[in-house]
Structure 1
Amino acid sequence: MSGRDGTIKAAIAAGEQVSPAGRRPRPVAGIAPRLHERAFDILASQIASGALAPGERLLESRVAERFGISRAPARQALARLERVGLVSRSDGHGFEVLPLAGPPPVVSAKTISDGATIQLAPESTWQRIYADVEQEVVSRTALGAFRVVENHLAAYYGVSRTVAREVLSRLNERGVVRKDTRLHWYAPALTPAYVAELFEMRAILEPGALRLAFPRLAPGQVATLRANLRDAAAHPDTVDGARLGILETELHVGLLGRCGNATLMEALATCQTLLVALTFLYARAPQPHGREPFIAEHLDVAERLAAADIEGAADALRNHLRGSFGRAVERLDRVRREFCPGPLPYLSPL
């Protein structure tokens, strides 16, 4: 029995409606597919294409976050994938992608590149202002610590305090803001001591995440990473701050995120304020002659991964992080000397 036939029979057994051609019927004209149906189609397509590899774990919370939906439709989509035999419940928690029994099933959903953000639900109000708030806060932490006043933030953007609170909660998850002992929001200054702590934590955790991620990487993921870095190295004058930020994220978030350990990635998320800050610093304090040292260091990691030298890649990653600390501190010093942002009503210097 082919994988496609097995999937169809499992769908019938589970009570799914399947057309004579082997495809689920299209929704009635004028009625949009439900969120869980759209999430199911995308995930099934990615399993069929190999973008989601056998053995990869799918967590309800991660599916919900990636598609911008609540946990309920994410749970329904995963349950449906289980019913049709594309995933099974993991021994720990979540679901594990199963190997296909034969040729990949034919699915109608468009295959989307792995790691992409697919917004299925309408953008929330907090999402419309989040990027701007994050940039404004992070750009000032190079200068010092700031208290973030929730009601002033809401008034400045013309949103409710509930929306402002959601933005601050998301910033807290990224490590950009914290709460003090009086439960007031504040953004800690990126002092050399604080930056040193963040880099030290990354140097301990990221090599371990890399080792776990290597056997779980999507087909072609290392090749794509290496190609992007080679192109950046060959054409340094075309690499701006935004692209540097993308290259940073491709390794430190996209690749390490394949480690399959949600607890580890949550610990690493507290360091992501550095990635946000570095994107700002790349634009404000670029390297002389447009050459960024981390590109060669990332490329060293990618080349070792391509050669299946996982321990060499972990060592290269650790060395990259150690070298990045000094460059980050130097950039922060330059920004403090040269950057003079205007005041914002929701930020008060501490």
Structure 2
Amino acid sequence: MTSDAPPAATGKPTPPAERRARPVAGIAPRLHERAFDILASQIASGALAPGERLLESRVAERFGISRAPARQALARLERVGLVSRSDGHGFQVMPLAGPAPAVPAVDVSGETPIQLAPESTWQRIYADVEQEVVSRTALGAFRVVENHLAAYYGVSRTVAREVLSRLNQRGVVRKDNRLHWYAPALTPAYVAELFEMRAILEPAALRLAFPRLAPGQVATLLANLRDAAAHPDAVDGARLGALENELHVGLLGRCGNATLMEALATCQTLLVALTFLYVRSPQPHGREPFIAEHLDVAERLAAADVEGAADALRDHLRGSFGRAVERLDRVRREFSPGPLPYLSPL
């Protein structure tokens, strides 16, 4: 368990406060009631469409709560007839019979994920650490010193260890034979290995995900890609990253095979790195070749050509390798990050 007690003064420099995520205030006393209100409101408004599956684990993750209140919220939704138990596991959203039920008005229009429970300390610093580490792996390998990481952010070593463990799950850091943490360099050989793994695993995940996709998910993916292709000058680095994640994470995440997704997660360092590299790249983002390649995958899915989509996805990944290596070379020439006390070049 991580400690969220105020950190002791360390005398070490800390990053600017605005770079850290902030916990959300106004937490409801009963988390399961708040989760029920939000889900019921989304079902009543149509934001959660009939047939969409709700899993206890996904509800807990989305709201930042444990499984117990998520389970209570789903059971209450079932009692009032808004969901029913799905074949296998989880629940399915039911079509509304008659007028929409009276539910509390809940503002869920923002893009920020809803958090009903306060973020753990590791969550508040994770994104910053991930960005700092990944942005430097284009330049070389680094040892990550746990106690220096803790001191830099003013957190306990337990929290620092949790952050490193999460980075390890994402493939960003590893442990050497002396059990020291290090971030491997994104060398052409290592990037080739990651792309080869993705080319094997992602088409398999796509085949499994297709029958489990939410209603309208492919149509939304297709619309977003067509809009990006039609308006290339309006596409920035953040949007490119979102388009990458919509296919490679959001859609493939529907595959229902946790072991397969865990294996894929170790390759996710590439997606983190590519988002950073898009920001660094001076070329027009909307003309990034992957948009047309993603479109090919989405159009085949829309036509229910799953095997064709899997082949197109594999071709896309094989073609992306050379572009990623070229972009990494450009970053090595142009990017000069400042030193960080918890990173030591290897």
Q: TM-score, structure 2 length as denominator?
A: 0.82
> What per-residue deviation string (whole Å, max 9, x for no partner) do you get for residues 126-173 of structure 1?
222222111100001111111111110111111222222222222222
- In the alignment, the residues of structure 2 paired with residue 83 and residue 18 of structure 1 have an alpha-carbon distance, to the nearest angstrom, of 49
User: Alignment partner for residue 122 of structure 2, among 116, 120, 126?
Assistant: 126
Question: Over aligned residue pairs, what C-alpha RMSD do you find?
Answer: 10.7
Contact 1:217 1:255 in 2 (8 A): yes
- In the alignment, the residues of structure 1 paired with residue 12 and residue 137 of structure 2 have an alpha-carbon distance, to the nearest angstrom, of 53
- In the alignment, the residues of structure 1 paired with residue 210 and residue 330 of structure 2 have an alpha-carbon distance, to the nearest angstrom, of 37
- In the alignment, the residues of structure 1 paired with residue 198 and residue 109 of structure 2 have an alpha-carbon distance, to the nearest angstrom, of 27
Q: Which moved more, 1:101-110 or 1:73-82?
A: 101-110
Structure-2 residue corresponding to 1:56: 52
Q: In the comparison of the two structures, how many residue pairs are matched?
A: 344
> What per-residue deviation string (whole Å, max 9, x for no partner) do you get for residues 164-218 of structure 1?
2222222222221122233322111111122112111211221222222223222
Q: Which moved more, 1:333-342 or 1:138-147?
A: 333-342
Distance 1:308 1:50, change over 3 A: farther
Structure 2 unaligned spans of 5+: none
> What per-residue deviation string (whole Å, max 9, x for no partner) do you get for residues 279-328 of structure 1?
01111234468620001111111222222222222211111111111111
- In the alignment, the residues of structure 2 paired with residue 43 and residue 220 of structure 1 have an alpha-carbon distance, to the nearest angstrom, of 18
Distance 1:323 1:29, change over 3 A: closer
SS at match of 1:147: strand
Give the percent of matched residue pairs that are identical in Structure 1 and Structure 2.
90
SS at match of 2:17: coil
Q: Which moved more, 1:319-328 or 1:183-192?
A: 183-192
Distance 1:264 1:88, change over 3 A: farther
Structure 1 unaligned spans of 5+: 1-6
Q: TM-score, structure 1 length as denominator?
A: 0.81
> What per-residue deviation string (whole Å, max 9, x for no partner) do you get for residues 32-83 of structure 1?
3511112223334445556556665544333222211223322332343454
Contact 1:150 1:165 in 2 (8 A): yes
Distance 1:203 1:46, change over 3 A: farther
Distance 1:31 1:64, change over 3 A: closer
- In the alignment, the residues of structure 2 paired with residue 9 and residue 133 of structure 1 have an alpha-carbon distance, to the nearest angstrom, of 18
- In the alignment, the residues of structure 2 paired with residue 57 and residue 42 of structure 1 have an alpha-carbon distance, to the nearest angstrom, of 16
SS at match of 2:92: strand
Distance 1:339 1:30, change over 3 A: closer
SS at match of 1:297: helix
